[in-house]
Chain A
Amino acid sequence: MVMRTIWFVAQISFFGLVVSRLVVPELKGVYFQYYVSGIIIMMLYSTSVFIGYDIFEEAEHGVFEYLLSLPVSRRELVLGRSIGGGIRSFIFVGPLIVIALAIVGVANPISFIIALSALFFFALGVSGMSITIAVALKSGDRFDILMGVLDALIIRLSTVMYPQIFIQNASQLYAAVARFNPVTLASDLFRWGVGIERYLTVTPLVAVVGLVGFFFAFTFVGVTIYEKRLEGGGWQ
């Protein structure tokens, strides 16, 4: 938590401030706020991924078998883990959101509350995705590598750090991927919530629907994988 807070502060205090002076004229004056909002989503993504690492720790200590023997359905178990992971990442990122709001401001509190609610589904979806990948791979090393690769791609092929229009200028393919990237939807929604509406990729409604869909998809996939991979033969 301390490390990530320092990382966040360093990113906005050094990198964000310097890069906002390098950008093209049309982004001057807005890029810093744009970047700070994006960094919040990056933090939310990376803290939601933590739950996958917890799975390996639980497997190592044999807690997994205990959880699978409890009088709860697999669906409840995966949902419980996703919600737990999502809430935890929100608790981690909460103070950083406050810092971001102090920098960016909030134009419309209702929009912000709507955006924040939808971001909760984003955190749950990422937690579900992380659980799904962890359980599917059953290997801490492979999980670590894949999450590193995924993080590199999913963050960079999104509007976390740059608007969609500039991605499109670089590559149509990149733009196509970024448009459907849940990180893009979450970034856009957060920016809409705080009142940065200039470079939205999709409408807020589409972003909300997309994030809720992302959550349901990974919860469903998570349950299926959980049953297939774990009930089929334990952890190893």
Chain B
Amino acid sequence: MAVIFDFAVQGAQMLLVLLLAPLLTGFTRKVKARLLLRRGPAVIQPYRDLVRLMRKEVVLAENASWLFRVSPYLIFAATWVAASLVPTFRTGLLFSWSADLIAIVALLGSARFFLALAGLDVGTSFGGIGSSREVMIASLAEPAMIMIIFTLALIAGSTQLSTMAGFLVSPEVGLRVSLGLALLALIMVAIAENARIPVDNPATHLELTMVHEAMVLEYSGRHLALIELSASLKLLLYVSLISCLFVPWGLVPPGAPNGLLVIGLLAYIAKLAIGGLLLALFETSIAKMRVFRVPEFLGAALMLGLLATLLRFVSRSM
């Protein structure tokens, strides 16, 4: 019985992230529009877009290969699995031990690998520019992420997200310099990974500095829908990750009474809303930077992560 319940909770989490992801994107867009004194599309507009894209036929470039058609499914699968492994409202889910934080980041790396290949498949210059810039950004963002993981793992003594969240919520953690540095670095990485301003602009389409949108330019119909959904899932994943590591209050530990799950769920939705709000605020208050300023931005994140790790190596209390 308990196993069936655990299965149900795990399944619920998988569905939950899938269902909430477009909502978070829509909410962020709406807040941004209101901050710019526009009315903006409805919060549920991303769902409408997805449904419409799913129903449309795919217009495929003549020389696109099988890899181009398979990639959206691979990207979606890797991102969805990664997003379902991050604790949202409850820790210690049935399969939470199947991949730790390093593996989750690597899963996102797999998704990016295939996205970058798909950008090169049709052989257009837009796809190439997107792919080459995406891997440049990733080559700095991912090491920074690994450094952040090192810091948190050294504090919590684990790379398992459930254990980490459980430790970080305990009173013995307190305020630490390394945690602050890691949080700052993680926010910078999350912005870069999700192609948000100031690194990339998710709203533009015809600008030479674009990265993500250039890679997916040749996609249409259901393929594009899957890629858009994966992008939303990735945004949700990073917001969940930041909230589970740095705002772990409200996460229901395993073995707690089931009634608490409702509270956990509400807390999670509140955290997502706050995350989306902050993201929109940040994006409207800053200008996009030139693409060759991005390495400096991410290099700073990498150095912050390295500094935080170094602090953990030399001192137990920092």
Chain B binds chain A: no
Interface residues of A, Cβ cutoff 8 Å to B: none
